Each structure stands twice: as C-alpha cells, then as structure tokens.
Amino acid sequence: MKTINMTKALKQANDLFLAGQYSEALRDYSLVLKDYPDSKEAYNGAILSDMAMSGESAGEALFDYYTILRSEDTETADTVISEILQTMDGTLDQLAGLFQETIKSRLDYEDGIMYTEFKELVENDSDFNRIFENIMFSTRVIITEKEDFVDFLDNLIDHGYQEMALSYLESALGVYPNDRQLRNLLRRLAKGKNIEN
C-alpha cells in the first residue's frame, strides 16, 4: 500500500532542493521511490541531491536545467537528464574536448560571420533584432570564445529570443553543467517564464 502522495512529496523534495537542503530533499525523493520505484523524477532528484551534497555544483546546475525542461515536457526532461547523468560517468574534460572538436569541424565546413564582426554590425546599427534576423537567414554566427557565447545568449534573452537561448543553453549545459555563468542565464530564463505564465 502506498503511504505518501507522490505529487505532494515530489513538490516538497523539489522545494527542499531549491532551498539548499539537499539531505532532506534526498530523504523525500527516497520516500517517493520506496512507494513509486518507477518515478523518474524522484530517481533523478535523488541523484542530483546526492551530487549537491557532495559539493558538486553540477548537481545544482542540472537541477535548474531539469526544472526548466520539466515545465515544457516532463517525459523529455526525464530522458534528457537521465542521459546526462549517465554521460557524467565519463569525465567533463572528455565532454569539453568533444564540444571543441564539434566547433572546429563546424568551422571547417560552414561559412559564417565571426561573433566579433556581428557585434560590430550591431554597434554600428543599434538594432540587434534586425541585424540578427538578417544574419540568421543568410549565414551563421561563429562563436569560438566562452565569453562571446555568454554575451550572445545574454543578447538573445534581452531581445526576445528566449526559446533560441534555451536551446543553446541546453547544449552548453550538457558539456559544462557546473558553469556558473550558464546557470545564471538559465535561472534568468526560468524567471522570465514564470513571469509570462
């Protein structure tokens, strides 16, 4: 016989995690798993709580990411986070190397405009949306530096391209799950979504 209400228990566990009370969150996720062993949210929450308790900031970053994904599509969110957690058994350095190889191969095969050139165009014209839309339909913006990537995402969010920014962030957090700047951008997007809803 089930002894707890899964929805209430998961909400309480999630709230505890957000409050930084990771051991209490882990306890609540575990209680859910006892009655509902197939709950992916409880399983993922338990793993992320354990990571956060160990001092791994990746646990917090992934939880933020997971929360945003769940607000859009619960089933996909569960799958994506499960895959990321399995992948993290490898080293983050290997993932970063893979990301760098992907960027290099894209640069080899794609024509585009460097982000510094794009920024100059925006500064000269003062109309980010117009410049961005013109470039988006004719070429690609090539970003090779992390600071440029963060600046680009910041601009996308400021100018109303939240979905596109989220898509880029999803990819980046898969490689750099504990990056503070990316987590801050994700939180900013989450706050914007809460205001809209």
Four-residue CA torsion sign, 141, 146, 149, 155: negative
Q: Please check whether residues 56 and 99 belong to one and the same domain.
A: no
Rg over CA atoms, the chain = 19
Asked whether 52 and 22 are in contact (CB, 8 A), the reply is yes
Instruction: Decide which of 60 and 99 is more confident.
Output: 60
Give the Cβ contact number of residue 92 at 10 Å.
Answer: 14
pLDDT digits (tens, 9 = 90+) for 21-43: 998 999 898 888 888 888 989 98
| Residue 59 within any structural domain of the chain | yes
CA trace torsion 13, 14, 18, 19 (10° rounding): -30
End-of-domain residue from the set 87, 112, 142? 87
Per-residue model confidence (pLDDT) at position 106: 44
Per-residue model confidence (pLDDT) at position 170: 81
Per-residue model confidence (pLDDT) at position 99: 45
Per-residue model confidence (pLDDT) at position 11: 92
Q: Please check whether residues 35 and 81 belong to one and the same domain.
A: yes
End-of-domain residue from the set 63, 87, 111? 87
Q: Please check whether residues 151 and 121 belong to one and the same domain.
A: yes
pLDDT digits (tens, 9 = 90+) for 142-188: 777 778 888 888 888 888 888 888 888 887 877 677 778 888 888 88
| Residue 1 within any structural domain of the chain | no
Q: Give the residue numbers spanning the domain of 102.
A: 92-196
Q: Please check whether residues 37 and 116 belong to one and the same domain.
A: no
Asked whether 165 and 156 are in contact (CB, 8 A), the reply is yes
Q: Please check whether residues 98 and 50 belong to one and the same domain.
A: no
Would you place residue 2 in the very low, low, confident or very high pLDDT band (cuts 50, 70, 90)? low
In terms of C-beta density within 10 A (0-12 exposed, 13-18 middle, 19 or more buried), how is residue 24 classed?
middle
Q: Please check whether residues 99 and 189 belong to one and the same domain.
A: yes
Per-residue model confidence (pLDDT) at position 72: 84
| Residue 12 within any structural domain of the chain | yes
Q: Please check whether residues 83 and 130 belong to one and the same domain.
A: no
Q: Please check whether residues 22 and 96 belong to one and the same domain.
A: no
Per-residue model confidence (pLDDT) at position 8: 92
| Residue 60 within any structural domain of the chain | yes
Q: How many domains does the chain have?
A: 2
Stretch among 4-8, 24-28, 66-70, 94-98 having the lowest mean pLDDT: 94-98
Res. 16: pLDDT tops 90: yes
Q: Please check whether residues 81 and 113 belong to one and the same domain.
A: no
End-of-domain residue from the set 87, 106, 140? 87
What lies within 8 Å, CB to CB, of 29 at 6+ separation is: 10, 13, 42, 43, 45, 46, 49
Per-residue model confidence (pLDDT) at position 13: 93
Partners of residue 114 on adjacent β-strands: 142
Q: Please check whether residues 96 and 37 belong to one and the same domain.
A: no
H runs (alpha helix) in 88-161 = 92-109, 115-125, 128-138, 146-158
Neighbouring C-alpha atoms within 13 Å toward the C-beta of 127: 6
